[in-house]
Amino acid sequence: MPEAVRPIALADIEAARERIAPIVLRTPLMRLHLGQGGPDIRLKLENLQPTNAYKIRGAANAVAKLGPEERARGVWTVSAGNAGQGVAFAARAAGIPCSVVAIETAPQTKLDRMRALGARIVPVSYQQAWQAAEAHAYEGMEGTFIHPFDNQDFIAGHGTMGLEILEDCPAVATVITAIGGGGLITGVGSAVKALRPDVRVLGAEPETAAPYALSLREGGPRRFLAWQPTFVDGAGGQSVTERMWERMQAVVDGAVTVTLDETREAMRFIADKARVISEGAGALALAAALTGRAGQGPIVCVVSGGNIDLKKFAELVTG
């Protein structure tokens, strides 16, 4: 059974920061120059992590906290690619076996990297993966389960990003992150709200998979019945779970839904202005900021990952 939901304490985030320092980068905060009258937007470039995605923060913390018996059993997780890479990277560094229940339609780049990191891949459908994440279990899997978003230590690891944002941009008015399962925004929001409760924390979702925005409108966790698979494979879940709804309610101020065209344009914009590659989910926060619905800033947009096949990236940003 998963542990009871409780707030992510600032002390837990600060301890996680020390714990993950040997393998996690302090990523740069880059200011975009949008011309006179444009909003003040900064990019938190988590796509520059060793696994090219923020998930390594939570994974490194969760693996580091395992006891000897748990380490001996090995670990497993559920992933569309980025969580799997993060857990596999941290497990390999600790000498622990790792298995990943991986969505079979994930970009080949992500599947190849998980295997290269030593993970055993168990391919499943998106529906099966989401069911495993909701149930915290999958038949035949052995070892310690590290949930890709609903895990206290995983979320605390992501909170370290919030500490860095406040240190590098003390005047920040709004922080935007993508929402998939909700672990990223809960971690970042927990750190930000503990230190600067006046800062707005917003989530960004694609129009094809926006369960959190729907849940906010209807006043409780909902399943997004119009869900569609798209190139935004690292965010936009099928539903908001009861547990993650409880976590997010305390630290998230709202959500912005963006179109797929706005997301493609944000991917192109990041490549053009920052000369870095973002996957679809990684560009959601900037897409939300560019709608104008997040104000004039300073706005920090978390570029959560850059794991995308180069051919697919080129097609999306030039098509």
Domain boundary among 103, 128, 145: 145
Does residue 79 share a domain with residue 39?
no
Domain boundary among 111, 145, 179: 145
**Is 2 part of a structural domain of the chain?**
no
What is the chain's pLDDT, residue by residue, as a tens digit (319 residues)? 678 899 999 999 999 999 999 999 999 999 998 878 889 999 999 999 999 999 999 999 999 999 999 999 999 999 877 889 999 999 999 999 999 999 888 888 888 889 999 999 999 998 898 888 888 889 888 899 998 889 999 999 999 999 999 999 999 999 999 999 999 999 999 999 999 999 999 999 999 999 999 999 999 999 999 999 999 988 988 899 999 999 999 999 999 999 999 999 999 999 999 999 999 999 999 999 999 999 988 999 999 999 999 999 999 999 7
**Is 276 part of a structural domain of the chain?**
yes
Determine the pLDDT at residue 180.
Answer: 93
Domain boundary among 145, 177, 204: 145
Does residue 68 share a domain with residue 24?
no
Quote the strand ranges of the chain, DSSP E.
Answer: 29-31, 41-45, 75-79, 98-103, 120-124, 144-145, 174-178, 200-206, 254-258, 299-303
Question: CA 263 to CA 258: how far, in whole Å?
Answer: 7
Question: CA 242 to CA 296: how far, in whole Å?
Answer: 33
Name the amino acid, one letter, at 227. Answer: W
For 94, counting Cβ atoms within 10 Å of its Cβ (0-12 exposed, 13-18 middle, 19+ buried), the class is middle
Does residue 62 share a domain with residue 40?
no
As for how many domains the chain has, the answer is 2
Does residue 285 share a domain with residue 178?
yes
Does residue 158 share a domain with residue 25?
yes
Determine the pLDDT at residue 270.
Answer: 96
Does residue 283 share a domain with residue 199?
yes
Residue with tokens 């369960």: 211
Choose among 109, 91, 51: nearest CA to 100: 91
Determine the pLDDT at residue 109.
Answer: 83
Does residue 166 share a domain with residue 33?
yes
3-state helix, strand and coil shares in percent for the chain, rounded to the nearest 5: 45, 15, 40
Determine the pLDDT at residue 170.
Answer: 98
Query: To the nearest 10°, the Cα dihedral for 294, 285, 260, 270?
Result: 110
Does residue 162 share a domain with residue 306?
yes
Residues with Cβ within 8 Å of residue 142, at least 6 apart in sequence: 73, 74, 76
CATH of the domain at 219: 3.40.50.1100
SS3 40: coil
* CA angle, residues 51, 46, 155, in degrees to nearest 5: 85
**Is 3 part of a structural domain of the chain?**
no
Determine the pLDDT at residue 152.
Answer: 95
Terminal CA-CA length for the chain: 46
Determine the pLDDT at residue 237.
Answer: 85
Does residue 284 share a domain with residue 164?
yes
Residue 7 phi/psi, 5° resolution?
-60, 150
What is the reported pTM?
0.94
For 93, counting Cβ atoms within 10 Å of its Cβ (0-12 exposed, 13-18 middle, 19+ buried), the class is middle
In terms of DSSP bridges, do strands 144-145 and 254-258 run parallel, antiparallel, or are they unpaired?
Answer: unpaired
Does residue 97 share a domain with residue 28?
no
Does residue 166 share a domain with residue 140?
no
**Is 301 part of a structural domain of the chain?**
yes
**Is 176 part of a structural domain of the chain?**
yes
**Is 270 part of a structural domain of the chain?**
yes
**Is 1 part of a structural domain of the chain?**
no
Structure tokens at 301: 């947009």
Does residue 138 share a domain with residue 77?
yes
Domain, as residue range, for 103 = 56-145
For 268, counting Cβ atoms within 10 Å of its Cβ (0-12 exposed, 13-18 middle, 19+ buried), the class is middle
